[in-house]
Structure 1
Amino acid sequence: MTEIKKCMADEMTPVERKMAIEKGEAYDRIPCVPFMGELKGVLSGVSVWDLSHDPEKMAEAEIIPFNRYGYDRMDIGPNSRGITEALGGRVVYPRQGVPYMDVPLLDSYARLETMEPVNAHTNERIQDFAGAAAILEKTALAIVPVEMSIGGPLTIASNLRGVERLLRDCRKKPDDVLRLMRIITDSEKSCIDLAAEYGMGTAMADPVANPALIGPAMYEKFVYPFTKELTDYAYAKTGKKVSLHMCGMTDKIWKYFRKYQLNEVSLDNIVDLEKAALELGEAVPIAGNVDPVEIIKNGTRQEILKAVTDCIDAGLKSEKGYVLASGCDIPETTRPEQIDVFMEAARTYRHNL
């Protein structure tokens, strides 16, 4: 197993930086979390399959990129895909690229009669990720925070039913959808129990819950109560607030974000970050939102430096705090040197920290 190392370019470790910020003390640089996705596997020589199935290689794929870049958080699954599989769904793992859903499991809600919530302590699929968590608890947690991602309940539901059918069902079969969401939420709570045992926080990403797909009224009925339950539960069980990522233009549902127990809300790069910092940042820490494709993957050095500076300038207007991040996962085809520039921009920014 590769040994984890403190980044020599920084005065503090990520854990030390986070503690200083929480105490209102001086810190060395802006906290920074580029969302690495499958790029972690590419950088570590770990296959797409092993990145989600082999505990030792999952841990390696966290440590190797961290040792190069020194960013502020690691994250492991099960993610929405892992919980989907634990509930009986199927995921396709290509030789290269991003895993995707196979044919949805729920051709009929009659299947719910025999579907039980996942027990994270006994489910073989979830235990793959527990193995990685055990390794990182011993090797990494003293230096860098680690979060277990549990995906988002509506996204997991869409994996099991299919996006179009699920959104139609929200109108025509709401009771069935709510039954499904209950099973998923209880499964996610079991995964939160697991995260707590390893001293880890929790992350959620619920891309299907964005207003482009589901309006505010449906969000309030099918997403808000379950996300509120999960964020409250995670904070109570782990002592750490949840990191939430949401795709799309989310300003119509910001009022719900204010009610969650959030470590941060990470925003898509299409969102006006300054607006979010001023309007949402008074209640919730903000993260974001450098364009992962046009800027981080394809941008020149100067374009990356400028985009990072602009985001930090806007994000620091958030009263509750700010984390520099990419607007979504960075493509796995991105040259490693592009991330070096992104991190350099975070380290060279100075604004009375």
Structure 2
Amino acid sequence: MSDLLLKDDMTPKERIEAMTHGRPFDRVPCNIFIGDHAATIIGAKVSDLNFSSEKFLYGQLAANKKYGIESTGVSPGLAGIAEALGSKLVFPDHGAPYVREYGIKDILDLERLSIPDPVKAGRFAFVLETAEKLVDEFGREIPVSVEVPGPFTSAGNLMNIGKILRDTRKNPEFVHRILRLVTDTTIAFIKQASKLDVSIGIAEPSASGTLISHGMFETFALPYLIEIVDTIKALGKGSPYLHICGNTKKIWTLMADTGAGALSLDDVIDLEDAKKTVGDRVILIGNVKPTATMYLGKPIDVERDAKECLKKSYDNPKGYVLALGCGFPIDTPPENIHALRGAAIKYGKYPYEPELFS
């Protein structure tokens, strides 16, 4: 374990479990979810981390030794459900996977699709194997998660998102059929992942309030998210976190209505506003600026940004987790990662001393 971790009174797993269950804990959790940045630590290609559970685990071990991570996990990726259903992906050596060929190009393509093998399709086997290794290595002290893409995001990776948005008006029944398929596929995979000692999280960036309206979210995202959340809870995994990119202010209450236990919010929104609106219902996660602060800024900028987040959210009724507002930039300077966790240790002690934020 990192020397920094030894300065804490609780392990990351003890801390997050205490906060979730309303028990006393030592300081604010700091979700340094390293992701693809791990490749830079071990001198690997990012693409390697999508296929080799050994390299993925090696990267997380190296990240923990270097930074003292407080969470770890693996995901099939935002296009992972679509990949399992037939979309063809590209895996850059230094970037996130993206769709090269959509599994659905027209209505007839949908007729040929069915729920795939939840263990073997796409990279499901890789994710399950990697999650098991992460649990074996970290599970006693660090929470391990498996993140799945939300149904609207999966639909937009199975068929071009522009066409999805068009058909929400021209052919809504067709969109609902796609959403039904990706939701059933996601649930089948979750049932396999839930056999491991992991929590489940949901990333639903395409359902952003900057992309779809409140009404569209209510019709095409909310019912399927509720179904997935209910499944996760029924499997004994607790309430998952839900991340949606962009300006989500107009759908905060709907996000909470999904039954998610925590909302991960982008840096374009104000945490204090979110606290006032849904803070009595959900844990808030976020929202240090990933690019402007973590990637392009200096440690002093990271500390300032973290302090501002803490100042606004330290007293959130359901709890608060210091984290980035969105994905972790691959080339984030190591000194900025140290600064983020250092700010959590320095300013996030319970009980809080608000004068530290001045």
TM-score (norm 2): 0.93
CA contact (8 A) 1:40 1:61 kept: yes
Q: Which residue of 1 aligns with 2:62?
A: 64
Partner Cα separation in structure 1 for residue 125 and residue 92 of structure 2: 22
Give CA-to-partner distance per residue, 1:281-331, whole Å, 9 cap, x none.
111111110101111112222221111011011112321111011011121
Q: Which runs of 4+ in 1 moved over 6 A?
A: 3-6
Which amino acid is 1:313 matched to? K
Partner Cα separation in structure 2 for residue 143 and residue 243 of structure 1: 20
Work out the number of aligned pairs and report it.
351
- Please say which of residues 127-136 and 23-32 is displaced more in the overlay: 23-32
Partner Cα separation in structure 2 for residue 277 and residue 70 of structure 1: 28
Q: 1:156 to 1:205 in 2, by over 3 A?
A: same
Find the partner of 1:300 among 298, 301, 315.
298
Which amino acid is 1:38 matched to? D
Q: Which residue of 2 aligns with 1:326?
A: 324
Give CA-to-partner distance per residue, 1:62-120, whole Å, 9 cap, x none.
23212322232212011322222111111111122222221322111211112111331
Which amino acid is 1:116 matched to? S
Cα displacement (A) at 1:4:
9.2
1:238 alignment partner, SS class: coil
Find the partner of 1:269 among 267, 277, 289.
267
Cα displacement (A) at 1:260:
2.2
Which amino acid is 1:269 matched to? D
Q: 1:110 to 1:142 in 2, by over 3 A?
A: same
CA contact (8 A) 2:207 2:217 kept: yes
Partner Cα separation in structure 2 for residue 212 and residue 186 of structure 1: 26
Find the partner of 1:53 among 51, 54, 62.
51
Structure 1 stretches of 5 or more lacking a match? none
Q: Which residue of 2 aligns with 1:352?
A: 351
2:101 alignment partner, SS class: coil
Give CA-to-partner distance per residue, 1:140-191, whole Å, 9 cap, x none.
1111111111111111111111111110011111111111111100111112
Find the partner of 1:143 among 137, 141, 144.
141
Query: Matches of residues 120-159 of structure 1 in structure 2 within 5 Å?
Result: 120-123=118-121, 125-159=123-157
Find the partner of 1:78 among 76, 83, 108.
76
- Please say which of residues 185-194 and 9-18 is displaced more in the overlay: 9-18
Partner Cα separation in structure 2 for residue 247 and residue 177 of structure 1: 21
Partner Cα separation in structure 1 for residue 50 and residue 96 of structure 2: 11
Q: Which residue of 2 aligns with 1:185?
A: 183
Q: Which residue of 1 aligns with 2:333?
A: 335
Partner Cα separation in structure 2 for residue 288 and residue 338 of structure 1: 16
Partner Cα separation in structure 2 for residue 55 and residue 46 of structure 1: 13
Partner Cα separation in structure 2 for residue 328 and residue 200 of structure 1: 21
Which amino acid is 1:280 matched to? V
2:125 alignment partner, SS class: helix
Which amino acid is 2:163 matched to? R
Find the partner of 2:244 among 243, 246, 264.
246
Structure 2 stretches of 5 or more lacking a match? 353-358
CA contact (8 A) 1:262 1:285 kept: no
Q: 1:274 to 1:95 in 2, by over 3 A?
A: same
Partner Cα separation in structure 2 for residue 149 and residue 225 of structure 1: 19
Q: 1:240 to 1:61 in 2, by over 3 A?
A: farther
Q: Which residue of 2 aligns with 1:222?
A: 220
Partner Cα separation in structure 2 for residue 245 and residue 22 of structure 1: 17
Q: 1:81 to 1:44 in 2, by over 3 A?
A: farther
- Using the aligned pairs only, state the percent identity: 32
Q: Which residue of 2 aligns with 1:205?
A: 203
Q: Which residue of 2 aligns with 1:316?
A: 314
Partner Cα separation in structure 1 for residue 2 and residue 98 of structure 2: 31
Partner Cα separation in structure 2 for residue 306 and residue 348 of structure 1: 12
CA contact (8 A) 1:309 1:345 kept: yes
* RMSD (CA atoms): 1.8
Cα displacement (A) at 1:21:
2.3
CA contact (8 A) 1:4 1:63 kept: no
Q: Which residue of 2 aligns with 1:26?
A: 24
CA contact (8 A) 1:39 1:332 kept: yes
1:266 alignment partner, SS class: strand
2:194 alignment partner, SS class: helix
Partner Cα separation in structure 2 for residue 344 and residue 287 of structure 1: 17
Q: 1:69 to 1:238 in 2, by over 3 A?
A: farther
Partner Cα separation in structure 2 for residue 284 and residue 336 of structure 1: 31
2:118 alignment partner, SS class: coil
TM-score (norm 1): 0.94
